[in-house]
Amino acid sequence: MTDNTLEENETIEMKLLLEAIHLKYGYNFKDYANAHTKRRLRNRLKMSGMTTYTDMMRRIIYDEPFFNELLMDLSINVTEMFRDPWFYLKVREELIPRLKTYSFIKVWHAGCSAGQEVYSMSILLEEEGMKKRSQVYATDFNELILEKAKAGIYPLDVMKTYTSNYQKAGGTGDFSDYYTADDKNVILKRGLREKVLFSSHNLVTDGVFGEMHLIFCRNVLIYFNRKLQNQVLQLFYDSLIPGGYLCLGSKESLKFTDFTDRFDVVSKKEKIYRKKLMAE
Ligand SMILES: C[S@@+](CC[C@H](N)C(=O)[O-])C[C@H]1O[C@@H](n2cnc3c(N)ncnc32)[C@H](O)[C@@H]1O
C-alpha cells in the first residue's frame, strides 16, 4: 500500500471512530482541528497496545472508562492560575475600570478546565471590590474536570508558579491568604466560590448564556477548525450584551473569522475584544 492510501485509510477509520463517539456519548469532535485530533488518537492507540482504530472503536463503545481516558486526551485540560500574568494585569488595569461602570456584571468562563482561571478572576474581582456585584458562570464539557474545578484543590508543587503569576498580574494582597495547605495540596478558600456557578456545557452542542458582560474563552478555540470557531463565536456574540467583552487565549484571535467586523479590539496582544454597540 502507498503512503497516500495508508493515510487515506487512517483518515476514514478516524472519522468512523469520531462518529461512534458522537453516537454513543454525544460528544462531537468532528470539527476539532485535524492535526490535534490525529495526534491524540495516534498516541492513545499506541499506549493502548491495539493496532487499529477499528479495534479501538469497539473498545470505546463497550468500555466507558477507556472512553473517559480518551476524553481527557481530546479535551486537553492544561491550565494554571493567572496564566499569562500580563493578560490578567491588563484585565485589572483596563477592563475592570470599564466594568465598574455597571452596577452588576455577569461573567462566563467557557472551557474553564479545573477552575484555575475562574479562581484567578474571583481573586481579582475580590481585590477590586467587584465580587459582591458579580455572578460568575464556569462551564466545561468534561464533567470529570468540572468536579476538580468545584473542589478547588491543587497540588502544592504548582504553587510557586501560581504565586509568581499572581504577583506579576498585579495582585494586591498576599497570595497565601487565599488558601490553606496540607503536606500535598492547597485548598482554595471557600469564599472564592461564593459567586461561581459551575455547570456542564458543551460549546459545540449547547446554547446561549444570556446577557454576559464578559466572556473568557481562553485556549479552547485553538483546538477547533475554522467552521467550528465561527459557530462558537456566534454563540458568544449572542451571549454578550452590546459593549460586552470577549477574552481569547494568546494564540487565538478574531482575525480571519466571520466576527472581525463585529468586535472592536480593546487590546491586541492580550486578545481582548468588545462587541460593537450596534450591528453595522
Ligand atoms: C486548554 S484548556 C483551557 C483552560 C483555561 N481556559 C485556560 O486558558 O487556562 C481547554 C478546555 O476546554 C474544554 N473544552 C474543549 N472542548 C470543549 C467544548 N466543546 N465545550 C466546552 N469545553 C470544551 C476542555 O475540556 C478543557 O478543559
Query: What's the pLDDT tens digit per position in 62-71?
Result: 999 999 999 9
In this predicted structure, what is the pLDDT of residue 279? 59
The C-alpha cell at 163 is: 504565586
Q: What is the pLDDT of residues 209-232, one digit of tens each?
A: 989 999 999 999 999 999 999 999
In this predicted structure, what is the pLDDT of residue 208? 94
Q: Is the pLDDT of residue 121 over 60?
A: yes
- Nearest 5 degrees, angle CA 94-CA 96-CA 100? 130
Nearest CA to ligand 1 atom 16: 75
In this predicted structure, what is the pLDDT of residue 219? 97
Mutate to test the pocket of ligand 1, among 220, 227, 251 (most ligand atoms within 8 A of CB): 220
161: which residues sit within 8 A by CB, 6+ positions away?
80
Q: Where are the domains of the chain?
A: 3-75, 85-275
Q: Is the pLDDT of residue 133 over 70?
A: yes
Q: Taking CB atoms and a 6 Å cutoff, what residues make up the pocket around ligand 1?
A: 75-79, 83, 111-113, 117, 140-142, 145, 202-204, 218-220, 249
Q: What is the DSSP track for 179-195? A: EEE-SSEEEE-GGGGTT
Over range 165-172, report the average pLDDT. 97
Q: What is the pLDDT of residues 71-116, one digit of tens each?
A: 999 988 999 999 999 999 999 999 999 999 999 999 999 999 999 9
Over range 112-139, report the average pLDDT. 97
Nearest CA to ligand 1 atom 13: 111
Distance 3 CA to ligand 1 centre (A): 34
In this predicted structure, what is the pLDDT of residue 129? 96
Q: Which fold has domain 85-275?
A: Rossmann fold (3.40.50)
27: which residues sit within 8 A by CB, 6+ positions away?
21, 71, 141, 202
In this predicted structure, what is the pLDDT of residue 8? 87
Average pLDDT, the chain: 95
Q: Is the pLDDT of residue 1 over 80?
A: no
Which residues in 65-211 belong to E strands, given as ranges? 105-110, 134-140, 153-155, 179-181, 185-188, 196-200
Q: Is the pLDDT of residue 280 over 70?
A: no
- 3 state SS of 249: coil
Distances (CA, A) of 223 to 44, 102, 204: 17, 33, 12
Q: Is 181 left (phi over 0), alpha (psi -120 to 50) or beta?
A: beta
Q: What is the pLDDT of residues 252-263, one digit of tens each?
A: 999 999 999 999
pTM: 0.95
